[in-house]
Chain A
Amino acid sequence: MMELVFERTNGLTEKPTHYCPGCTHGIIHRLVGEVLEEMDIIEDTVGVASVGCSVLAYDYFNCDMTQAAHGRAPAVATGIKRVLPKDRIVFTYQGDGDLASIGMAEIVHAAARGENITVIFVNNAIYGMTGGQMAPTSLVGQKTATSPFGRDIALQGSPIRVSELLATLDGASYIERVSTHDVASIIKAKKAIRKAFETQKNGLGFSMVEVLSTCPTNWGIDPKESLDWVKEKMIPEYPLGVYKDVKGGK
């Protein structure tokens, strides 16, 4: 008899994802799905998909899903969370263009209000879906379709560190930045995601996990190099760690 060593989590549907080879969106989906399953909250959860490569997330998560306009997921999540019974769990899944550019007002105010929602923030330093344009999180010097000579501070300003920024707000209860570039960091990422959902379950207010993620397609490098790029280029700019943990005294 064969031993079962790996299984689809019930937190995800059976639909194959459309993500490019080497894209870590899929890994992050899996981590969220596993956490929903392990906490036994799949049936209590409503997810909000945003606009970006993860727009079809509504087909992949095995819970009720709503699709929000570009950047507006935290406002949509607010509407859902505020009218449903208290035991319901609401999360958003947003890219960095979605959350840190067009949706900056919505995320800041959701955090400031202490909305009891969980935000999965996928930072890949680029607009993946529209073909690799500069994001507010693109690194200084990073070449993209709309910063062909490299991001220039004088012209395009500096990257926004969202976790640090939101951690200054009293309404934010749990904020951690994690990565997906190797196994150890993926295990840490899952722990952070679990902690964020537990924060919500315990009614403690706004939680967000910023996950550094790859976009080999638009970075123009292969999947292995992409993982190295996260480690060597992104992490120094976006240090990993817990930025806010009200319960843990931080």
Chain B
Amino acid sequence: MGKVLMKGNEVIAEAAVHAGCKYYFGYPITPQSELVAYMAKRLPEVGGLFLQAESEVAAINMVYGAASAGVRVMTSSSSPGVSLKQEGISYLVGAELPAVIINVMRGGPGLGSIQPSQSDYFQATKGGGHGDYQIPVFAPATLQEIVDLMQDAFDIADRYRTPVYILGDGMLGQMMEPVEFTERKAAELPPKDWATTGTRGDGGPKITNSLRLDPDDLEKHNNHLQEKYSKIKENEVRFENYLTEDADYIVVAYGTVSRIAKNAIKKAREKGIKVGMIRPISLWPFPEKPFYETRENVKAYLTVEMSAGQMVEDVRLAVNGYKPVHFYGRTGGMVPSQEDILAEIIKMAGGDQ
């Protein structure tokens, strides 16, 4: 199959179908409604099911039911809807059920705006719902990267029995780019012998459950989750280094913002500023290694986000006081421009270039 020109939201949907997802439960919200509409048409073609739920609360619980029955399942929404899903996500974690959750982020808080934003970073990477947990979070920057990460997301969900987030923003959802749906060999995954599908032909009754009334029992379970998170940290960190080898300064950005930052970096290089970029692709687990490797040699970091400063906290933890970490952010659906970022780079570099 060659390249096709598609809209981001549709790419998310088609990539999920290519990853073997046949079941979708969701509720409409801008700016990801094309995704819902695409699934409604597409899933019946592959013998799957699209169901519009009465709310995001219901949708995530339908996902919980479908996941407990052992199928690949996903839901998608945008910020206000993802807030409503938090209860169900916490239950998915507790019951160790795999699912993929898409958040095409928009400006907040409250009803906010329908313009692009990255203001749900904390919600996605620091728990979000109640309880002590983490969820793998992936942030593609291009439509082609969505295709590649989606397969990973479903595989990781199944391998570790965990929900997985794909975090995009309104820009990614709305942009059009050529993409290629490459066929990948299916990953080797453990059998879903825990699924509650009826006992006929597979032995005694099974239970999917997040309740553990005995504190000793719950602590053991939580320790087990933490061990799982250690494995995910070992195996699933993803990032891109761009022109970091000789860099005096490093910009840190993820998702669509990283594309704008890249252009600003090119311009800064033309002006003789040796600047590069670390682009986290997995937001949790956060890529610490590229910071450990650069923090001795660079002079400063600049984190650029469409938020009031969220990922910058993880950058500061990774830099651990070795070097200054600056921040530039826009909120409410405002997108940082190439010129803005360039100005910030120049400021960081002493302002005299």
Q: Is B191 engaged at the interface, CB distance under 8 Å to the other chain?
A: no
Supposing A43-B199, A84-B197, A88-B198 touch, asked if A66 and B58 sit within 8 A by C-beta, the answer is no
Q: Is B223 engaged at the interface, CB distance under 8 Å to the other chain?
A: no
Q: Determine how close the nearest CB of chain A comes to the CB of B163; give it in whole angstroms.
A: 14
Residues of A within 8 A of B53 (CB): 75, 109
Tell me whether B91 and A84 are in contact (CB under 8 A).
no
Binds A, one of B34-42, B208-216, B340-348: B208-216
Q: Is B57 engaged at the interface, CB distance under 8 Å to the other chain?
A: yes
Tell me whether B66 and A83 are in contact (CB under 8 A).
yes
Closest A residue by C-beta to B55: A105
Tell me whether A55 and B211 are in contact (CB under 8 A).
yes
Give the distance in Å from the alpha carbon of A65 to the alpha carbon of B200 in the complex.
Answer: 13
Q: Is B293 engaged at the interface, CB distance under 8 Å to the other chain?
A: no
Tell me whether B61 and A79 are in contact (CB under 8 A).
yes
Supposing A64-B207, A75-B58, A106-B61 touch, asked if A82 and B66 sit within 8 A by C-beta, the answer is yes
Tell me whether B23 and A42 are in contact (CB under 8 A).
no
Tell me whether B69 and A84 are in contact (CB under 8 A).
yes
Give the distance in Å from the alpha carbon of A51 to the alpha carbon of B201 in the complex.
Answer: 30
Interface range on chain B (Cβ under 8 Å from partner): 35 or more
Q: Is B231 engaged at the interface, CB distance under 8 Å to the other chain?
A: no
Residues of A within 8 A of B66 (CB): 79-80, 82-83
Tell me whether A66 and B209 are in contact (CB under 8 A).
yes
Tell me whether B209 and A58 are in contact (CB under 8 A).
yes
Q: Is A218 engaged at the interface, CB distance under 8 Å to the other chain?
A: no
Tell me whether A69 and B88 are in contact (CB under 8 A).
yes
Give the distance in Å from the alpha carbon of A67 to the alpha carbon of B206 in the complex.
Answer: 11
Q: Is B87 engaged at the interface, CB distance under 8 Å to the other chain?
A: yes
Q: Is B246 engaged at the interface, CB distance under 8 Å to the other chain?
A: no
Residues of A within 8 A of B23 (CB): 82-83
19 chain-A/chain-B pairs, Cβ below 8 angstroms: A13-B205, A55-B211, A64-B199, A65-B205, A65-B208, A66-B68, A66-B207, A66-B208, A67-B211, A69-B87, A72-B58, A75-B61, A78-B58, A78-B65, A79-B62, A79-B66, A82-B62, A84-B197, A106-B57
